[in-house]
Structure formats: C-alpha cells, structure tokens
A and B are shown apart, each in its own frame.
Chain A
Amino acid sequence: MPVYSEKVMQHFMNPHNVGEIENADGVGEIGNPVCGDMMTFYIKVKDNRLEDVKYKTFGCGAAIAVSSIVSDMVKGKTLEEALTVTPAMVAKELEGLPKNKLHCSNLGAQALRKAIKNYALSHKVDMPGLTDTEEPEEDEHACET
C-alpha cells in the first residue's frame, strides 16, 4: 500500500459529500482508460455559486481522497473561483501524494471543470476560457507516468 498522508487517510476513510445530485445543473465525468479510474462530479449552481457538489469515484485510495477534498475546496465558491483549483493545489491540500499517485489529483480538477462546463453550456452561460475552448484530449497515459 502506498504511504499516504494522514489527511489522505482521513478523507479516504470518511469521504465528504459522496453521492449524486438528482437534476444536477452540471455533470462532469472523467475516466482513464489505462488504469481504469473514473470520477463523476455533480454540481448544483445558484447565483453563480456552487451550492452543492457531489461525486462518485472508482479508483484507488488517493482518487477517493482527491474527490472528497475537491468537493470541500469548491463548495460555496463562485464558478470562477472553483475553476482556479489545480491538481497541485489538491495534492497540497492533501498534505502531499506519493509520486505515482499524483495523476489521481488531475482527475478531481478535470472532472469538476467538466461539470462546470457542462452547466455553462446547458444553461447558456458564457464563461470565457471555458465555454469557448476545446477540452484537451484526455491523457490516455496519465497512469503510466
């Protein structure tokens, strides 16, 4: 088992905000075909803020902790604030991740971004830098790094 920080273990053992949101305003799913991880984020938006954030995660202990901490980090934030969350910030919040698990922190930020984009597109909200850009191809080899 990889050596995880206490923070990772806490979130893994007691993940916050697990679940799905019925009639979510935005849904973002990200998957990695190589190691099989998969993360789905659900968001509820009110007055440009993330009123509720939930997720489901299929993956390792780090992936579960990542989704939990991301949900904590962005809940109540404006969409713009939420979009500033980077994998590095996620890893830092978790007091670090083992090197070969860093890629799991990408999933959280990517899935959330996808959910926000899904909301913006479906609700016809213009978000420069998001709704007007193509998403980068999912990195098929993220797991091999």
Chain B
Amino acid sequence: MRKVYMDNVAATPLWPEVREAMLPFLGEVFGNPQSLHAWGDGARDALEQAREQVAALIGGTAEEIIFTSSGTEANNMAVKGLARAKADQGKHIVISAIEHFSIMNSARTLQKEGFEVSMVPVDGFGVVSPDEVLKHVRNDTVLVSIMHANGEVGTIEPVAEIAGRLGRDGPVLHTDAVASSGNIPVDVRELGVHALSLAGNQFNGPRGGAALWVKRGVRMLPLMDGGIQEGGRRPGTEDVPAIVGLGKAAEMAATTLTARMQKLSALRHSLIDGVLGKVEHSILTGHPLQRLPGYASFCIKFIEGESILMLLNSHGIAAASGSACTSRALKASHVLLAMGVDHEAAQGSMLFTLGIDTNQEDVDYVVEKLPQVVDRLRQMSPLYSKFLKEQRG
C-alpha cells in the first residue's frame, strides 16, 4: 500500500544532512559548552555556529537568539517574560483569538497574576486585522502577541503592518512564527517585531531544538532560575545535539526556501483543486492566497474528522483534524470557531500539511482516496440523509 504522509504540522522528517550534523554530538563530542577545556570548546563552537545559522534564517543577530526546548517554551517565555518585565508600566496584553495554546494559556496565567488580556477577533479567513489590533491597544498595554501564521489553517497574518501601526513607541510586539519559520521568508527587521518564536521541528529539524529571538535591548524575565546559560535568560545545560540539528535545519531551510515554496505551493494548489472539485459540500478553510505553502485545510460537511482520519489511515494516508471528537478535551478547534465556522462544520475539519517528501503522486492518491472515504462516511451519516431529504423537498 502507498504511504502518504501529510501531517507535517505534527512532525517533520529530519533532513538527512541534519541527522548527519547531529550524530557527532550524540557520540564523541559530548562536552558541556560551559566547560573550560577542549571537550567544552567543541560543544561551544557548535552551539555558537547554530546560533549564527538560526539568526541568519530570520535576519537577526546571533546574540539575540535564545535556545529553548520547544516552540511552546519560546512562546511561554515571550508572553510571560516580556509582560512581567514591564508589569510596572502596565498590566494589559493583547493576543489574537487564534493563537496557539502556549500563547493562550500563558495569557491565562498572566490573568491570574493581575494582567488583563484582550483577545482580537479574526475574520472568516482567520486574518487578524491591524485595525482590530489597534482598537484593543490601550495606554497600559505592555505586550501584543500576534502569530505570524496559523498552524491549523495556514493563514499568514499581516504582522509587519501591525508593527507599523503600533509604531516605535508602542507596546512590545511578539510573534509566534513557529508555523512559518523555515517555510516562508521570515525577517525580524522587516516584520518590525521585538520577539519571535520558532521551532526546528516545523522545518525538518529535530524536536527539542527551538528558539526565541529577542531584539537587543528588550527586557525579558526568565521562566526558570538557574545559571548563566543563554545569558541567564534560559538557564539549564544546553541540549547540544538538538541545537546543532536546529542550526543545520535552519541553514537547509534557508538554502532551499524558494524552490521548496514553489514546489509546495504547486502541490497544495493541486490538492485543493482536487479536493474541492471532487468532494461535494467541502470548503477551504483559511485564506485562499495568504497561506503557508504546504497547508491545505478543509471542512467536509456531514461527517466527522476522526472517522475520516481512521479511514484515510487505512489507506496509508496521514492527515489531521480539528474536530471535537479528535481532541482529547473533546472541544472543536478554537481557531475554526473563532473564524465563524459552526460546530457541525468544524467536526468535518481536515488539515493536510505537505512537506519535503511530498510529490504529485501523493497528491493524486489523496485526491483519489478522500472522496471514497467521504462517500462511505456520508452513507452512514444521519446529517447527510437529512440533507438529501430536505433537498428533495
């Protein structure tokens, strides 16, 4: 049976070059970067090289990179660390309604500490409008955090415009660029942000290698207390293999970016056209154009996501869904609901995320199998038979 992996949002395969780069650090080069001897030097050199590589990917400088264990950690550090550092100037922060849980729940923690949180709504495409952001900013707003691209529908947000509107003297602006970094051009100066999160596992690097970029001169409190690693902002012995992998992945991402974007955009177009053309009563979710190259997301009416995933899996296809039944908490995706998708349609949400190994045959295979799966589930769906009866009058 053909195997088609279209769940790159959940995990990406390592570039072989990344694995190669990491291996010595799981073997002979085991030293602690902080040690003052040859073993330490080897590890430290590798750490600093990775810092350069990550900085280069996003147009920052190496000193501004703080390595973290995950995008979640980077987001926690940014939201809590940046807001707490400014608590004496104000206790209000602004986030969007479609942020990742690591942002949402960090904001909730701040709420318990006395901060007020405003949530900016999005439109039907999942776009955060700069006007809306501005409307929520107050005199005591110390932090705005708006994601660069959404990891469930792929919509790319107008972060640079938001930064421009907030102005030089505005609040600190953080962007969660975990979904976008390595997949579309990301340049911290062009975006005009003060802090940016990224994670290597979204661009074929290893898990455990992620980073927060914080602009020089911007104050941030650490999440953990400890030693002097990462300038004291992220203490704890460095995960050198993961960081080396992140660095190499950043380099690979930068050199392959244009070609990869072209290839993935073409494949994604083909998948979207195929699915919308062959599956009746299906809609595209997210912005039709302003979206991550490899993201094809849909709502397929009258059926439920988990059962779609299970049948796709039986055909060797991996995808994801934001349905209530697929989530452990049995709640429909907050992103889809914020976009105005109703509960019933959200149940049929599907997300295909294409990656470096995806080819046209994979797309064709999904376009062939998905309609069969949908048909089969609709044959047993009471909603579908109701719909048909109503249609017949």
Contact = CB atoms under 8 A, between A and B. Distances in A.
A36 B382 contact: no
Given A1-B309, A64-B380, A36 B324 contact: yes
A72 interface: no
Contact of B310 (A1, A29, A34, A56): A1
Nearest to A40: B382
A144 B330 CA distance: 6
Contacts of B302: 58
B380 A60 contact: no
Contacts of B303: 58
Contacts of B331: 35, 144
Contact of A59 (B304, B343, B346, B384): B304
Contacts of B109: none
A15 interface: yes
Given A1-B306, A33-B343, A56 B381 contact: yes
B326 to A, nearest CB: 7
Contacts of B380: 15, 18, 56-57, 64
B383 interface: yes
A13 B311 CA distance: 8
A10 interface: no
A18 B221 CA distance: 59
A35 B331 CA distance: 7
Given A1-B313, A143-B324, A143-B330, A58 B306 contact: no
A20 B326 contact: no
Interface residues of A, number: 27
B324 A39 contact: no
B304 A58 contact: yes
A18 B379 contact: yes
12 contacts: A1-B313, A33-B343, A34-B330, A34-B343, A56-B380, A60-B326, A61-B307, A61-B310, A100-B328, A100-B330, A143-B324, A144-B330
B256 interface: no
A37 interface: yes
Q: Nearest 9 pairs between A and B by C-beta? A: A60-B325, A35-B324, A56-B382, A60-B306, A36-B347, A40-B382, A143-B330, A58-B381, A61-B310
B290 interface: no
Interface in A46-64: 56-61, 63-64
Contacts of B328: 100
A114 to B, nearest CB: 13
B314 interface: yes
A119 interface: no
B105 interface: no
Given A1-B306, A35-B331, A38-B383, 17 more contacts: A1-B326, A29-B382, A35-B323, A35-B325, A36-B304, A36-B343, A37-B304, A40-B382, A57-B380, A57-B382, A58-B382, A58-B384, A59-B307, A60-B307, A63-B325, A64-B380, A144-B330
